Amino acid sequence: MPHSRFDWAGRIKAAEREYQAVRLALDWLLNATPDELHDITEARDWDDLAAADAYAADRNLDATYLIRMYSVFERAISSYWRLLPHNADRTVEGDVLIDEVGSARRILTDLIVGAQSVRMHRNRLVHGRIDDHAATMVFADARRDLLSFLDKLPEAWG
Protein backbone atom coordinates (compact mmCIF):
# COMPACT_ATOMS: atom_id res chain seq x y z
CA MET A 1 0.00 0.00 0.00
CA PRO A 2 1.59 3.30 -1.05
CA HIS A 3 2.03 5.99 1.58
CA SER A 4 2.23 9.73 1.09
CA ARG A 5 4.10 12.05 3.43
CA PHE A 6 1.49 14.71 2.66
CA ASP A 7 -1.39 12.38 3.62
CA TRP A 8 0.29 11.55 6.93
CA ALA A 9 0.96 15.24 7.62
CA GLY A 10 -2.68 15.94 6.78
CA ARG A 11 -3.79 13.36 9.35
CA ILE A 12 -1.63 15.00 12.01
CA LYS A 13 -3.04 18.42 11.10
CA ALA A 14 -6.58 16.97 11.17
CA ALA A 15 -5.99 15.79 14.75
CA GLU A 16 -4.86 19.32 15.57
CA ARG A 17 -8.01 20.82 14.01
CA GLU A 18 -10.17 18.43 16.05
CA TYR A 19 -8.22 19.48 19.13
CA GLN A 20 -8.95 23.13 18.32
CA ALA A 21 -12.67 22.39 17.84
CA VAL A 22 -12.88 20.61 21.18
CA ARG A 23 -10.82 23.38 22.82
CA LEU A 24 -13.36 25.91 21.55
CA ALA A 25 -16.28 23.82 22.79
CA LEU A 26 -14.69 23.33 26.19
CA ASP A 27 -13.98 27.04 26.50
CA TRP A 28 -17.68 27.70 25.84
CA LEU A 29 -18.72 24.99 28.27
CA LEU A 30 -16.51 26.29 31.05
CA ASN A 31 -17.99 29.77 30.63
CA ALA A 32 -21.62 28.69 30.21
CA THR A 33 -24.26 29.56 32.76
CA PRO A 34 -25.97 26.77 34.69
CA ASP A 35 -29.14 27.40 32.64
CA GLU A 36 -27.24 27.08 29.35
CA LEU A 37 -25.68 23.81 30.52
CA HIS A 38 -29.04 22.47 31.62
CA ASP A 39 -30.66 23.34 28.27
CA ILE A 40 -27.92 21.59 26.30
CA THR A 41 -27.82 18.44 28.42
CA GLU A 42 -31.61 18.21 28.62
CA ALA A 43 -31.93 18.51 24.83
CA ARG A 44 -29.66 15.44 24.51
CA ASP A 45 -31.39 13.54 27.30
CA TRP A 46 -28.18 13.58 29.35
CA ASP A 47 -27.92 14.12 33.05
CA ASP A 48 -26.68 17.58 33.95
CA LEU A 49 -22.99 17.83 33.32
CA ALA A 50 -21.04 18.17 36.52
CA ALA A 51 -18.50 20.98 36.72
CA ALA A 52 -15.91 18.39 37.76
CA ASP A 53 -16.44 16.53 34.46
CA ALA A 54 -15.92 19.71 32.44
CA TYR A 55 -12.78 20.56 34.39
CA ALA A 56 -11.44 17.03 33.91
CA ALA A 57 -12.05 17.27 30.16
CA ASP A 58 -10.26 20.60 30.11
CA ARG A 59 -7.33 19.26 32.13
CA ASN A 60 -6.94 16.17 29.89
CA LEU A 61 -7.57 17.74 26.48
CA ASP A 62 -3.96 18.46 25.48
CA ALA A 63 -2.82 15.03 26.64
CA THR A 64 -5.61 13.24 24.79
CA TYR A 65 -4.90 14.90 21.46
CA LEU A 66 -1.12 14.77 21.84
CA ILE A 67 -1.42 10.99 22.29
CA ARG A 68 -3.65 10.79 19.23
CA MET A 69 -1.35 12.96 17.14
CA TYR A 70 1.70 10.92 18.15
CA SER A 71 -0.14 7.72 17.22
CA VAL A 72 -0.58 9.01 13.66
CA PHE A 73 3.08 9.99 13.51
CA GLU A 74 4.19 6.58 14.78
CA ARG A 75 2.06 4.77 12.19
CA ALA A 76 3.60 6.93 9.47
CA ILE A 77 7.21 6.28 10.40
CA SER A 78 6.50 2.60 11.08
CA SER A 79 5.17 2.21 7.55
CA TYR A 80 8.40 3.72 6.23
CA TRP A 81 10.66 1.81 8.63
CA ARG A 82 9.23 -1.57 7.52
CA LEU A 83 10.49 -0.87 4.02
CA LEU A 84 14.10 -0.44 5.14
CA PRO A 85 16.36 -3.47 4.57
CA HIS A 86 15.89 -6.33 7.06
CA ASN A 87 12.97 -4.68 8.88
CA ALA A 88 9.97 -6.51 7.43
CA ASP A 89 9.85 -9.08 10.26
CA ARG A 90 11.73 -7.14 12.93
CA THR A 91 10.03 -5.45 15.90
CA VAL A 92 11.48 -2.41 17.67
CA GLU A 93 10.38 0.07 20.31
CA GLY A 94 9.45 3.67 19.46
CA ASP A 95 12.81 5.18 20.40
CA VAL A 96 14.68 2.81 18.08
CA LEU A 97 12.10 3.37 15.36
CA ILE A 98 12.69 7.13 15.40
CA ASP A 99 16.48 6.73 15.60
CA GLU A 100 16.66 4.21 12.75
CA VAL A 101 14.40 6.18 10.43
CA GLY A 102 16.37 9.31 11.34
CA SER A 103 19.63 7.57 10.55
CA ALA A 104 18.36 6.07 7.28
CA ARG A 105 17.09 9.48 6.11
CA ARG A 106 20.08 11.41 7.54
CA ILE A 107 17.72 13.58 9.56
CA LEU A 108 19.37 16.27 11.67
CA THR A 109 19.94 15.36 15.30
CA ASP A 110 17.81 18.28 16.52
CA LEU A 111 14.80 16.95 14.61
CA ILE A 112 15.35 13.43 15.97
CA VAL A 113 15.64 14.82 19.51
CA GLY A 114 12.42 16.78 19.00
CA ALA A 115 10.48 13.70 17.87
CA GLN A 116 11.99 11.67 20.71
CA SER A 117 10.91 14.30 23.25
CA VAL A 118 7.32 14.07 22.00
CA ARG A 119 7.53 10.26 22.23
CA MET A 120 8.85 10.42 25.79
CA HIS A 121 6.16 12.91 26.78
CA ARG A 122 3.49 10.71 25.20
CA ASN A 123 4.82 7.71 27.14
CA ARG A 124 4.68 9.62 30.42
CA LEU A 125 1.09 10.63 29.66
CA VAL A 126 0.02 7.10 28.74
CA HIS A 127 1.66 5.55 31.78
CA GLY A 128 0.40 8.20 34.19
CA ARG A 129 3.75 9.67 35.11
CA ILE A 130 2.65 13.29 34.74
CA ASP A 131 0.36 15.14 37.10
CA ASP A 132 0.24 18.49 35.31
CA HIS A 133 -0.13 17.62 31.60
CA ALA A 134 -0.22 21.18 30.29
CA ALA A 135 2.97 22.27 32.04
CA THR A 136 5.19 19.74 30.34
CA MET A 137 4.75 20.18 26.58
CA VAL A 138 2.86 22.68 24.48
CA PHE A 139 0.60 20.97 21.94
CA ALA A 140 1.74 23.22 19.07
CA ASP A 141 5.39 22.46 19.86
CA ALA A 142 4.70 18.72 19.74
CA ARG A 143 2.95 19.10 16.37
CA ARG A 144 5.87 21.13 15.02
CA ASP A 145 8.44 18.56 16.16
CA LEU A 146 6.54 15.65 14.64
CA LEU A 147 5.85 17.40 11.33
CA SER A 148 9.47 18.58 11.07
CA PHE A 149 10.66 14.98 11.37
CA LEU A 150 7.98 13.67 9.02
CA ASP A 151 8.93 16.32 6.46
CA LYS A 152 12.28 14.57 6.00
CA LEU A 153 10.66 11.37 4.70
CA PRO A 154 10.29 10.93 0.94
CA GLU A 155 7.10 12.23 -0.66
CA ALA A 156 5.88 8.66 -1.15
CA TRP A 157 6.87 5.15 -0.11
CA GLY A 158 5.52 1.64 -0.23
Helices 109-126, 139-150: axis angle to 10 degrees equals 130
> What gap in Å lies between CA 11 and CA 7, rounded to an integer?
6
Mean pLDDT of 133-147: 84
Model-level pTM greater than 0.75?
Answer: yes
| pLDDT on residue 6 | 96
Residue 131 pLDDT exceeds 80: no
7-16, 110-119, 134-143: which range is least confident on average? 134-143
Please state the rounded mean pLDDT for residues 90-113.
95
The pLDDT tens digits of the residues spanning 24-49 come to 999 999 998 888 888 888 878 777 67
Q: Which pLDDT score, from 0 to 100, does residue 65 have?
A: 95
Task: State the pLDDT at residue 2.
Answer: 77
Q: Which of 54-63, 66-75, 86-95 has the highest mean pLDDT?
A: 66-75
Mean pLDDT value across residues 87-108? 93
